[in-house]
Structure 1
Amino acid sequence: MQRPKLFLLLVSFIIIFNITSGCADIGQREPPDVPTPSRIVDVNNKLITTISQTNQIPVELDQIAPEMQQAIVAIEDYRFYEHSGIDIKGLARAALINIRNLRIVEGGSTITQQLAKNLYLGPERTLGRKIKELYYTVQLERSYTKEEILNMYLNHVYFGQGAYGIEAAAQTYFDKHAQELTLGESALLAGLPKAPSYYAPTTNLAGAKQRQQVVLNRMLELGMITPEKKKQALDQTIEPQAKTEYFQQAPYFVAEVVKYFKNKYPNGMELLYSSGLTIQTTLDMDMQQAAERAITQGLGQVNKDMEGALIAIDPRNGYIKAMVGGRNWQKSQYNRALAKSQPGSSFKPFLYTAAIESGYTAATTIFCKPITYPGGYRPKDYHGYHYRPFTLKQALAISDNVVSVQLADRLGPEVLVRYAKAMGIESKLDPYLSLALGSAEVSPLEMAVAFGPLANEGIRTKPLSILRVTDSSGRVLEEAHPQRYKVVDEKVAYIVTDMLKAAVQPGGTAAQISQLVSRPVAGKTGTTDESTNAWFVGYSPELVASVYVGYDDKSKKVGLTGSDIAAPIWGNFFEEALKGTEKTDFKKPVGVVEVNICAYDGLKASVFSSDTLSAYFIKGTEPKIPCFGDFWWKEQEGLSEEIPDQRGKQKKRLNEYEENQ
């Protein structure tokens, strides 16, 4: 019998001590009337938006359905009308649980205590805050009637989706006034304050309905309703509506920041709406606006249902600098920058990176002609077959499918999967030969991340969107730093980059880029079978951007190639996004040499070569045997009747060459 008495004495001493010592200054400062909104700023501390308590509509108690009043009392504080603000039994029970766990896990809070916390205190759970909460609770009970306290509570409690107060919640979820709520709707809403994000009926209706049943059971136990009314409430069809939050700037990016807080913190939305946080992000508002303009202008002349996305990342640190998830946020909140689609030939750079690091060179030649693989798979190019050899550099520049599939077959598709994963693709990849042509589904974000090692000397960086979160006092709550991984040899990254430079120059699949962008860049177009998706992914040393164009309904055809529509969007964005910055070229690593080669056989170019190109090699792998013309492959394939004449001309030129040495 002595232990309970000693415990109560100890609790009483702690409460009295903390009230007298910890609350001495409380009466000297003006408590806040409303929660403080949070600010989301860009990488330069420029305001993007404010996440504020804009959805609050105060009403009188007689404007709230009696069933709602009963439901909230039943589930939150069934002894509300009996105690004086502090439920000693509930507090003692919570204290025992907290002492047993050596941390605060249960509050035992009454409705008055919760109101005190909502009006005057932050969301932290500490002993000091608890004592202050008790102090304010006593003051509220002394100053207001029970009806007034319940009315204030129902006008301030958070119900999710930005709705503070029961009137805002009723309008948000059911498009009706609080006085029109049914018993079933009231019970469902009364269950939300415990965990608004988890029980949100718009995203977790099953969980919300389970919580509703808990509320109704409690009301039945307390004699507030009859079994018949409970059954009617449970049988009522409830279809809560989802409210679209309107973000004026960078809406798709801001929505991801909000989602991050919802998922990471149990009271994430409450933190955002009431704690006065400052969230510094990686976004650059100047680049973001350039991206939005590029998407709007680029898609302005096509079918209004055709969608697009653009995401840009700094490959040096992983900062997401721009994100556009669609043409119109108000029309659709589906973020296509994070959604998955087939990337087509924009996936090929991963294959060529694997090849160069596996011992192939930019001068390796593969013949483009019909070839059939087991199972009947028969790749072909946009216009059929070329019936000629291509160096790997040429094949990537013109996006030759037949050469790419043969290369994937020689390497093994498992190698392609391994390199794509290492470079940044996280989606499921099946090791089929068609993977070389982009048959897997990936997101624009993944593509931007995975092109990053090519731009950043073989180093992959983890994408970042939030740099720092500070509270209203300036205290850092969380902070992120770049995470870097070496995934590709820097010499290989430079060689593949040079190969992709050819794709954006005359003769490449995105030749128009050279007219749009006035700095060294590299990139790759992508167009899926039947032209259902169009892509362009490109980069400079300081920025990688991925552009996707397609329909949400994948059965619809874009009817345009990546070169036709995605590349111009990318070029217009890139030129504006980097306007005014230094035009830097990719840094050539030590151990890389440049050699002119013959376009037909990949040998070292000579005076006899009729078609040459420049290529880079890891020192020691460059071709050393000179090229003596292009007739040899024609003879090998039986494609020319002029071989004898070609041989004679070649012999004459060779003799002249030797005489001049």
Structure 2
Amino acid sequence: MSHLLRTSRVFAWFLLTGLSVAIIIASAFYLYLRPSLPPVHQLLDVKLQTPLRVYSADNRLIAEFGEKRRAPITIEQIPTIQLQAFLAAEDARFHDHFGVDIKGLTRAAIELVSTGSIQSGGSTITMQVAKNYFLSRDRTFIRKFNEILLALQIERELDKDKILELYLNKIYLGNRAYGIAAAAQVYYDKPVDELTLAQMAMLAGLPKAPSAYNPLANPERALIRRNWILGRMRDLGYITQEDWSEATKAPLTATYNMREAEVDADYVAEMARTEMVRRFGEAAYNDGYSVTLTVDGTKQQAATEALRTGLENYDRRHGFRGPIGQFDIAGMSTAELSNQLLNYPRVEGLIPAVITSVNDDEGAARVHTRHLGPGKMDFETMTWAKRYRTENLTGPTPEKPSDVVNVGDVVYVKVTQLPQIQEQTPETDGNEPRLELQVALSQAPRVEGAVISLSAKTGAIEALAGGYSFSQSKYNRATQANRQPGSTFKPFLYLSALENGRTPATIYNDAPIVFEDSELEGAWRPQNSSGQFYGPTTLREGLYRSRNLVSIRLLRDLGIRQTLNYLDQLKIPTANMPANLSLSLGAGQLTPMALARGFAVIANGGYDVEPYLIKTIQEPDGTVVYEAPETVLCDSDCEQQLTDNASEDPLTESNSDTPETDGILLPASAQQSAEKRVMKRLADERSVYIMHTILQDVVRRGTGRRALALNRKDLAGKTGTTNEQKDTWFAGFNHDVATTVWVGFDQPSPLGRREFGASTALPIWVDYMKTAMQGAPESTMARPNGIVNIRINPRTGERARPGEDGTFEIFKEEDAPAPLSQDTNGNGSGANDSDSLPGQIF
């Protein structure tokens, strides 16, 4: 007994010594590591890396930017059975331990001793939270000890539900999905509370090894893992035997579901992304901001589609440029054909396809598409494909498929009918023939364009398209392309004239003129687009018929410097405007956005306009960090009232120092929702009202008559075509909305001698406005005080004498033609100073 007692004492001393040494070592580790451990309360302030999401004004997703897909949710939003699935898979004793599971750590230690390597970490969910939020993923003892210490602290300071919520929002579940909500969307396209038991178990199996147990990458292993978790749930009493039996028999239903944009608005999305990065730096991609834009989803989609359709129509008018590639298809399998087509990018709705056979007797060609396999292209879809020669010349009309394509040609096509099983009818014999893929010949346009639609009274961008395809070119022509506005510039010149004593009845001569001017590089012989001249013309007719010679004489009469000063008053950029008479024909340069803004000033009655895109910016918890200020249109009475009430209701006055980025205007001084933007009057409302009536005549009687197809009486606008048809425009509006369309080549070159603003830009405008104005009541500017109607002689501009042919015209009271005197002989200019007629004529 004494020997046994001595032996027991020795073992006891060894055990006590070992325990003491372990405690000392552990204490040393604790004292060494404790100061470097982060405080647990930081967990509550951690911003999970959540992507930037951009929405339209009607809450439709436009784009998502960021490396990680995540949608944080609260523990209350997660079904109990889903929580139990994760506990069964990762930490069944979660509610029993204090952050560290001794059994699990002991098991891990035994595995290490027996195998020589770490087989499992013995980590609890709390330890995983500590690791995922604060530590690296290195498999070292120091990191594990830190993990244990942090887990103990987390358990002391946070409740179990909060720890579980942090875990389920942070874990990586494969396919860029972080957190359970993102994974439910990516794999099943459902919110968490709509998943089946089998789907819940599948997600619970992913944290252990997202790549090895991924149902998309390795369905067999994923199924085994899922069924093991279901068995654990049954054994732990979370589900019944019947639940387990049904769930284990369920097939794998996971598919890849990246959330698609609900609005085709890539250029708008890029503008928003640029502005967010400017404001928040790289945090814009990770801090979960939600940006709501001013664009309306329906209008934006209409703008995108109208521009693409218009550019495609122009492109077809000028012929088929031939295949985009060619290769030898002899002996190739369908898989090899698809691989070859990978060399040709898809462009929006255009799909690359290779011609596999051409049958003139059948009147069709057979194709193989990269994504949809074999299909048929009927000759009816190729009849437009005259061979392109130049912008003014095409080849003959094709008469059979072989006139257009050959075997091995790679072309772009549009799908007109997807393959499908034909519905059985009483006439069929029970078989269900498959309808084959039908495609139409197409090609990617080289011509480009832009559409910008503004709320005239606020400047909010309601729709914007910066080109045919953002994937082809990220250059935003709406905000970056400086182009000659052509005749769309003329309304600003004529508005300047109305502000300086001229009237719609003022006469200028539409006759040939030659200028010898060193600044114009020699002799300049301007002409009208028709090549004809029409003699003495009123300003109204000169504008709605877009007479160049009238505009030139008007600018010469007003003075170039005075006109440029007036443009500055309207805040139309003049840096790229020529200081010579070519200014009258729109020879300067403006972006489509700048031109749209200028027309919005006319549309709203003469008030300043600042285009802006971002309506609100919100943090993930819904906190609004920016809200666009309310816009206040302010005339002279308003300005006086603001001066009197400045201390009671402070307003933010717009000024030229407000930062602007790529067409987005977010006033730096207007950061609170209570603030407002004061937009002052830039032009006399009577002059603007008269301009409205003239530009309405452009639609009713002039070059904008195609807009009559909308069957509205409130539309006004102006076409524009520059020299050699390098730029074509239409800028149109009613009192509420101003929309501008531009069409041209990125490298300016002629569009073709038969292409004008009315044939290229105006159809796009009509196509867009058909949707944008659907259901909207007509809106016209109210007639201001100080306007009179007078019957005039259109040949002289003076009041019409009794018995003379005449027409009614409107004038500002002080600019109305003088009353007829007893000895009036009918000769006069219609202006206040009849002596000015010779200067206007000659």
Q: Which residue of 2 aligns with 1:526?
A: 720
2:759 aligned with 1:564: yes
478, 481, 490: which is aligned to 1:337? 478
Task: From the superposition, tell whether residues 444 and 118 of structure 1 become closer, same or farther in structure 2 (CA, over 3 Å).
Answer: farther
Q: Look up the match of 2:729.
A: 535
Distance between the aligned counterparts of 1:363 and 1:312, measured in 2?
32
SS at match of 1:337: helix
Q: Deviations over 1:160-189 (max 9, x none)?
A: xx9x9xxxxxxxxxxxxxxxxxxxxxxxxx
CA separation in 1, counterparts of 2:144 and 2:464?
47
User: Counterparts of 2:539 and 2:278 in 1: how far apart (Å)?
Assistant: 45
Instruction: Look up the SS of the partner of 1:478 in the other structure.
Output: strand
Deviations 1:633-661 (A, max 9, x none): 9xxxxxxxxxxxxxxxxxxxxxxxxxxxx
Distance in 2, Cα, partners of 1:344 & 1:118: 64
Contact kept, 8 Å, 1:307 with 1:550, in 2: the verdict is: yes
- 1:308 aligns to what? 449
1:457 match: secondary structure: coil
* 39 and 385 in structure 1: CA distance in 2 versus 1, 3 angstrom threshold: same
Aligned equivalent of 1:348, options 490, 510, 522: 490
- Tell me, in whole angstroms, the C-alpha distance in 1 between the residues paired with 2:728 and 2:130: 53
Q: Percent identity?
A: 30
Deviation at residue 278 of structure 1 after TM alignment: 1.3
1:35 is matched with 49
Say if 1:549 and 1:365 are closer, same or farther in 2 by CA, change over 3 A.
same
Aligned to 1:263: 278
CA distances 1:548-597 after superposition (whole Å, capped 9, x unpaired): 01111213434400011211211221122011111122211111122332
Name which of 244, 264, 281 aligns with 2:293: 281
- In the alignment, the residues of structure 2 paired with residue 354 and residue 533 of structure 1 have an alpha-carbon distance, to the nearest angstrom, of 24
Deviation at 1:383, TM superposition (A): 2.5
CA contact under 8 A between 1:498 and 1:615: conserved in structure 2?
no
- Cα displacement (A) at 1:308: 1.3
Measured in 2, the distance between the counterparts of 1:140 and 1:545 equals: 63
1:574 equivalent to 2:769? Answer yes
SS at match of 1:573: helix
Question: Does the Cα contact within 8 Å between 2:796 and 2:827 map onto a contact in 1?
Answer: no
SS at match of 2:705: coil
Output the amino acid matched with 1:41. Answer: Y
Check whether the contact 1:393–1:615 (CA below 8 A) recurs between aligned residues: no
Partner of 1:399: 546
Number of the residue aligned with 2:20 = none
Cα separation, 1, equivalents of 2:286 and 2:145 = 24
Task: Output the TM-score relative to the length of structure 2.
Answer: 0.48
RMSD of equivalent CA atoms: 3.5
> What is the aligned counterpart of 2:66 among 52, 57, 62?
52
Q: 1:139 to 1:460 in 2, by over 3 A?
A: farther
The aligned counterpart of 1:299 is 311
Structure 2: which amino acid aligns with 1:557?
A: L
Structure-2 residue corresponding to 1:455? 603
User: Residue deviations 1:365-411, cap 9 Å, x none?
Assistant: 00111222341333221133424111100100000100101110111
Per-residue Cα deviation, 1:279-303 (whole angstroms, up to 9, x for no partner): 1211111111121222122222222
Question: 1:368 touches 1:385 (CA, 8 Å); kept in 2?
Answer: no
1:472 to 613, 616, 620: 620
Check 1:119–1:44 CA distance in 2 against 1; reply closer, same or farther (3 A cut): farther
SS in 2 for 1:394: helix
Give distance in 2, aligned partners of 1:118 and 1:527: 65
Residues 16-69 of structure 1 deviation map (CA, whole Å, 9 limit, x = unaligned): 99999xx46456x6977x61122212223333222232599xxxxxxxxxxxxx
The question of 1:328 aligning with 2:343 is answered: no
Q: 1:435 aligns with which of 583, 589, 603?
A: 583
- Render the CA deviation track for 1:315-356: whole Å, top value 9, x for unaligned: 101101100111122222211111111110000011001000
Give the letter for the 1:315 counterpart.
A
Aligned residue for 1:211? none
- Pick aligned residue for 2:264 from 240, 249, 265: 249
Distance 1:387 1:541 in 2: 32
Partner Cα distance (1:525, 1:40) in 2 = 34
Q: Give the distance between the partners of 2:512 and 2:49, measured in 1 at CA.
A: 69
1:579-627 per-residue CA deviation (whole Å, 9 max, x = no partner) reads 11111222111111223322211122355433x4443211232224469
* Residues in 2 aligned to 1:437 and 1:458: alpha-carbon distance in whole angstroms: 22
Q: Secondary structure at the match of 2:524?
A: coil
Amino acid at match of 1:53: E
| Rg comparison, structure with higher value | 2
Q: Paired residue for 1:235?
A: none
Partner of residue 549, structure 1: 743
1:639 corresponding residue in structure 2? none
2:518 matched to 1:377? no
How far apart, CA to CA, are the structure 2 residues paired with 1:389 and 1:335?
43
Alpha-carbon distance in 1 for matches of 2:514, 2:307: 40
Is the Cα–Cα contact under 8 Å of residues 130 and 147 in structure 2 kept in the other structure?
no
Q: Secondary structure at the match of 1:460?
A: coil
Q: What secondary structure, in the 3-state scheme, does the structure 2 residue paired with 1:289 have?
A: helix
CA distance in 2, matches of 1:379, 1:305: 30
Where 1:299 maps in the other structure, the secondary structure is: helix
Q: How far 1:500 moved relative to its partner?
A: 0.9
Q: Which residue identity lines up with residue 722 of structure 2 in the other structure?
A: T
The answer as to whether partners of 1:424 and 1:446 remain within 8 angstroms in 2 is no
Q: Evaluate the alpha carbon distance shift between residue 531 and residue 479 of structure 1 in structure 2; reply closer, same or farther with a 3 A threshold.
A: same
Question: Which residue pairs with 2:672 in the alignment?
Answer: none
User: In the TM superposition, what whole-angstrom CA distance separates every residue of 1:398-428 from its partner, at most 9, and x where no partner exists?
Assistant: 0010010111011111222222233242251
The aligned residue for residue 96 of structure 2 is: none
Distance in 2 between residues matched to 1:547 and 1:119, nearest whole Å: 51
Equivalent residues of 1:498, 1:616 under 8 A apart: no
Partner residue in 2 for 1:501: 696
Partner of 1:209: none
1:287 touches 1:577 (CA, 8 Å); kept in 2? Answer: yes
> Using the alignment, how far apart are the partners of 2:305 and 2:558 within structure 1?
42
Show structure 1 runs of 5+ residues with no match: 1-14, 57-115, 122-137, 145-155, 157-161, 165-244, 634-661
CA distance in 1, matches of 2:687, 2:757: 26
CA contact under 8 A between 1:608 and 1:629: conserved in structure 2?
A: no
Aligned pairs, how many? 440
* Secondary structure, aligned partner of 1:340: coil
Task: Specify every segment of 5 or more residues in structure 2 that has no aligned partner in the other structure, as ranges.
Answer: 1-32, 71-128, 135-141, 149-169, 171-175, 179-259, 316-444, 518-522, 632-676, 830-842
Deviation at 1:476, TM superposition (A): 2.7
Are positions 1:586 and 2:600 aligned together?
no
CA gap of 1:278–1:398, structure 2 versus 1, over 3 A, is same
Contact 2:544–2:703 (CA under 8 A) maintained in structure 1:
yes
C-alpha separation in 2, matches of 1:316 and 1:400: 30
User: Of 518, 533, 542, which residue of structure 2 is paired with 1:386?
Assistant: 533
- Give the structure 2 partner of residue 181 of structure 1: none
Cα distance in structure 2, aligned partners of 1:558 and 1:550:
11
Q: Which has the higher helix share?
A: 1
The match for 1:357 is 499
Query: Structure 1 residues 355 and 330, CA, compared in 2 at 3 Å: closer, same or farther?
Result: same
